[in-house]
Every structure is written in structure tokens, then in C-alpha cells.
Amino acid sequence: MTQAQQRSEGQAAVAACRADFPALDQDVNGHHLVYLDSAASAQQPSVVIDAMTRYESHDHANVHRGVHTLSHRATDAYEGARETLRGFINASSTREVVFTSGTTESINLVAQSFCRPKIGAGDKVLITHLEHHANIVPWQLVCEQTGAELLVAPINDKGELELDALYALMSDDVQLLAIAHVSNALGTINPIREIVAEAHARDIPVLVDGAQGVPHMQVDVQDLDCDFYAFSGHKMFGPTGTGVLYGKEALLDAMPPYKGGGDMILEVSFSGTTFNELPYKFEAGTPNISGAVGLGAAAKYLENVGMRNVESWEHELSDYMTQRLSAIEDMRLIGTAAHKAGVQSFLLGDIHPHDLGTILDHQGVAIRTGHHCAMPVMEFFGVPGTARASLALYNNFDDIDRLVAALEKAKEIFA
């Protein structure tokens, strides 16, 4: 079999996945739904919904504490999901896989437990101009709390990081680099492996915000060699309110707990408390068990489809989307990085993004409009917001044709 045939078979397998997502099979405003807002939140396949229903219907009890059968089943389901997630990102141990409520909590955990105890006036935290608010505000807070300074590495007008400038900012007093794997507003894929190597050469640990990474590409945290990797369940076809913080064991081990409560302790007395081992030290209270089960099912689903296949299918789609959108008169594409995921921000003539969003919705096409929780990125491009179409594995060429037709209709209305 030729490589081209293999590729097209892999792609065909991904295209067939659409039928696995019940929410996609519906009419919205009289038109079959075209869902192009997966970067905000992705739809869930039946296997995820079924796994959670099965768990809630048969196996639910509290984890890590009961001696009865259901508690064992719940613990097995929860810890089984952790093992699946470990494999999904190739962490070396489940001790390095902390369940959180999502990327935002994962990043806040690192800001408060890793950074806050060890930084002070004179220290710096380095981020980039590409970040969304979840990878800006936690660092602003910890800088305010400690007197440290927040540095922001610049981007160019394609929406690519200026790598030389980023490396030049990596001075001795930088205590952490926090950087997106993929920009949510612009789609830019950052060369994380190279950036981590440069940072490590200067003894700077790196947190990667992988919210937009895991749904679109194979992520191997050992290969990237990042110190922390944060991601959300709902952007990778799992439920909302779930997520993971991956951290290198030695770093997590040395960090104090983030929240106090049950499950994160070994022994509690009023004279003091002994904390539990990893990863439980960071999971205070009864966790979102069914959410973790759903997230595990989503990771398994993606492993079955094959992230290499997903990457290749989305690459074709993304190229087609760029080509079709750029052919529209008065189209301004925002975010034109050479290396890019299937996320496209744009402005059409002088039509405000919200008007576009409404007119598209009326034709059954769901896109995101606004600042995409990345106001500094919008400011850089001198726009209050954009329209954004984002792809996932279940999209196809027809979806993009429908998007383009809907945009043409918007132009007619505003002509």
C-alpha cells in the first residue's frame, strides 16, 4: 500500500467519526447543524456519554475509602481513567497525573503551589502575547502576591512567537515560562520541544497550556520534556469540569498542597496533618468521578481513532478552510502562522463579528465571536474581537462549504 493510500484511509476513518457524535445530528434554525466552535467546547461521542451513564447507573460510590463493592468499582473506574490519561500523554507514572476541573485550575495550581512559595521581588514569570486569559491572570495574581514581575514575549503580525525575543527574555531571574501549545484565538502551534530545550538550558521550568493541543495532535510529555502540561476534558471530547495537570514527579513531590480537605491527607490531628502521596495530595475532597470516567473514555476514543490520523485529517480541512476563506472578497484572516492548527479567526468587511455570528447561526452554522478570552491578542491586531471557526476531527469539507455560503449571505445582508 502506498503512503498516500494509507493516509487517505486514515483520513476516511476520521471522517466516519462524525456519526459517533449525537449532538451533531440535529437541525438548528431549520438547517443541519455545522459545528465550528470546538475550540470553545467540543461535542462528545456516544462512548463518553455512555461511559458516564453506565458509571452513574451502576458503579457510583465514593472513591478511595469504602470497603464495599461499589466503592471498589468507583475507585477502579476513577484510577482506570487516570491510567488511560497517563498513556494518552505518555507520562511515566500515574503519580504525575493530577485530575483537576480543567486547564484553568491546573494552571492556578502551579501558580500557587509551585511559583508562589519560591518567588519574590526581583523574580520574573515569563508568558507570551499569545496566551488566553487562563494563562495570564493566574500569573498576574501570583506576581501581585509576591512582588515578582510578569514578562510577555512578543508575537509578529502573522501571530507567530518571536522566538529570538522569547529566548532573550529568558534571564537568570525567570522562575517559570508558561506558554500555550496552540493559540486558541490564532491557531498558532508553538515549537514547544525547542522552546523547552532553550528554557531548560537556562534552568527555567516550563508549563505548557495544552488546552488546544491535546484535541488536535499527539502529545508526548516525555518527548516535549515540559515540566507541567495542563489541559481540559471538554476540549478533547470529554465532559466539562474535568482536566489534568501533568507534572514531573520530583516537582510535584516538592510542592505544598493547593487545596486542603479529605482524600489529600494520610493523617489528620489538631497538632498537624500528614499529606497523602502523589497525585492525591492535590485532589482534596470527593472528586468529579463520573467526569474522570468520561474523560478517560474520551482519551480512549482518541487513541482508537489515532491522533496521527486526526492531525492529518484536520490539516487537510484547515488548508481547505484557509483557501476558501481567503478567496472571499473583503476577508481579513487573523492568525496566519506557518505552523497552525484548524482554528481561523477572521473579519469580513466591516461586519461586526457578532452580527456575523447571528447571521451564521441563523443558517445553522455555529462559530465563536468576540475576544476569545484573549483580549491582549485582539489588542495586538487592533480589533475588538473576531469571528472564529475552529475545526475538530468530526468536521468535513461540506461544513466549510456551508460556512462560506453563510458568509456570502451575510455579505448580501450587509451589502
Partner 1 sequence: MIGNGLHSDDVRDLYRDLILDHARNPHHFGKLEHTTHSAEGINPLCGDKLRLYLDVDADETIVDAAFEGSGCAISVASASLLTDTVIGLSSKDAIAFFDAVTAQLAGNEPQNGKRVDLGKLRALAGVRDYPSRVKCATLAWHALKSALRQDTTPATTE
Query: Which chain residues interact with partner 1 by CB under 8 A?
Result: 25-30, 351-355, 358-359, 362, 369-371, 375, 378, 384-385, 413-414
Toward partner 1, which CB reaches closer, 111 or 374? 374
Helix or strand or coil: residue 388?
A: strand
Residue carrying the nine cell digits 499529606: 275
Please report the DSSP string for 222-254 in residue order.
HHHT-SEEEEESGGGTS-TT-EEEEE-HHHHHH
Which strands form 228-232's sheet, in the order they lie side by side?
A: 97-100, 243-247, 228-232, 206-209, 174-180, 124-128, 149-153
What phi, psi does 56 have (nearest 5°)? -65, -30
Confirm whether 226 is a catalytic residue.
no
The answer to whether residues 73 and 61 touch, using CB atoms and an 8 Å cutoff, is yes
Going by their DSSP bridges, the two strands 206-209 and 174-180 should be labelled as: parallel
Single out the catalytic residue among 17, 115, 143, 373. 373
Query: What number of CA atoms fall less than 13 Å from residue 340's CA on the CB side?
Result: 24
Residue carrying the nine cell digits 498542597: 257
Toward partner 1, which CB reaches closer, 378 or 393? 378
Toward partner 1, which CB reaches closer, 243 or 376? 376
- The one-letter code for the residue type at 292 is A
Toward partner 1, which CB reaches closer, 288 or 363? 363
Cell numbers describing residue 263 = 482524600
What phi, psi does 84 have (nearest 5°)? -60, -45
Q: Which run of H or of E encompasses 387? A: strand 386-390
Closest contact distance (angstroms) between CB of 372 and partner 1 is: 11
Evaluate the CA torsion angle 337, 321, 306, 215 in order and state its sign: positive
Which stretches of 118-262 are assigned E, i.e. beta strand? 124-128, 149-153, 174-180, 206-209, 228-232, 243-247
Query: In this structure, how many other beta carbons lie within 10 angstroms of the beta carbon of residue 355?
Result: 16
Closest contact distance (angstroms) between CB of 169 and partner 1 is: 29
Closest contact distance (angstroms) between CB of 150 and partner 1 is: 23
Toward partner 1, which CB reaches closer, 118 or 354? 354
Closest contact distance (angstroms) between CB of 415 and partner 1 is: 9
Closest contact distance (angstroms) between CB of 370 and partner 1 is: 5
Going by their DSSP bridges, the two strands 243-247 and 206-209 should be labelled as: unpaired
Closest contact distance (angstroms) between CB of 25 and partner 1 is: 6
Toward partner 1, which CB reaches closer, 158 or 352? 352
- Terminus-to-terminus CA distance in the chain, angstroms? 51
Toward partner 1, which CB reaches closer, 45 or 342? 45
Closest contact distance (angstroms) between CB of 384 and partner 1 is: 5
Using CA atoms, how far residue 45 sits from 204, 206, 393, in Å, is: 39, 32, 11
* Residues forming the active site: 373
